[in-house]
């Protein structure tokens, strides 16, 4: 599963496909204070990226993929310092 929903966080792994956008959105709606772990995420489908941009959740770990990390940083996402 590219998306693992936990109690208080969601872990996005590998390639997150377009089908995950809807569940991700509703989960983020139900868990407004949740955190997102992107460590092992290598690509987010545009639809999922949109969901993250709109929901602006807190990021627990930024992706280890340098390219994706740069992109997300340019969108204003940061690891909590």
Partner 1 sequence: MSNLIEQFVVEARELLQGISEQILALETQPDNTEAMHELFRLVHTLKGNSGLVEAPAMTRVLHVAEDLIGAVRDGRQVFSRELADTLLDTFDFVACLVDELEREGTVQASYDHEANRYIQQLQALGGNVPETEATPSQTQAETSAETVSIETLPVEAQGVARRCLQAGHTLCWIVYEPEADCFFKGEDPFLLVRQTPALCWGRIVSRKPWPPLDALDPYHCVLRFELLSEAPLPELEAHFRYVADQVQLCTVVAAQPTAPADTATEADGAPVQVSAEAIDQILQAQRAVLDSPVDEGFDGRLQAVGAALSGLLQAMGRGDECTALEAALSEARQVRNPEPVRRWMEQTFAMQENQTAPETNQQALPESAAESASPAATEARPAGQRSRSSSTLRVSQERIDALMSLVGELVVAKNGLAYLASKVQRDYELSELSREIKMHYAVIHRIAEELQDAVMQVRMLPFAHVFQRFPRLVRDLARRLGKEVRLEIIGEDTEADKRIIESLADPLIHLIRNSLDHGIESPEERRACGKPETGLLRIRTRQEGDRIWIEVSDDGRGIDPEKIKRKAYEKELLDEAALERIGPTEVLQLLFRPGFSTASSVSDISGRGVGLDVVKRTVEQLGGNVRLESEPGKGTRFILSLPLSMMVTQVLIVEVAGQLYGLPVEAVVETVRIAPEDIQRIQHQEALVLRNQVIPVESLQYRLNGCKPSIEAADTLAVVVLQLDTTRVGLLVDDFRETMDVVLKPLPGVLAGLSVYAGSALLGDGTVLMILNPQTLFASCRSNSGSEAFASLTM
Binding-site ranges for partner 1 (CB under 8 A): 18, 21-22, 24-25, 28-29, 43-51, 53-55, 67-68, 71, 74-75
Which is closer to partner 1, CB of 42 or CB of 60?
Answer: 42
Strand partners, 58: 35
| CA pair distance 35, 13, nearest whole angstrom | 14
| CA pair distance 14, 56, nearest whole angstrom | 20
The CB-of-14 to partner 1 minimum distance in angstroms stands at: 13
Which is closer to partner 1, CB of 6 or CB of 46?
Answer: 46
């Amino acid at each position: 599963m590219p998306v693992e929903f936990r109690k208080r966080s969601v872990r996005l792994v590998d390639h997150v496909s377009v089908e995950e956008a809807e569940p991700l959105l509703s989960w983020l709606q139900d868990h407004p204070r949740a955190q997102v772990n992107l460590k092992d995420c290598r690509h987010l489908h545009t639809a999922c990226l949109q969901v993250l941009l709109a929901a602006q959740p807190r990021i627990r770990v930024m992706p280890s993929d340098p390219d994706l990390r740069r992109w997300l940083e340019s969108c204003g996402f940061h690891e909590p310092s």
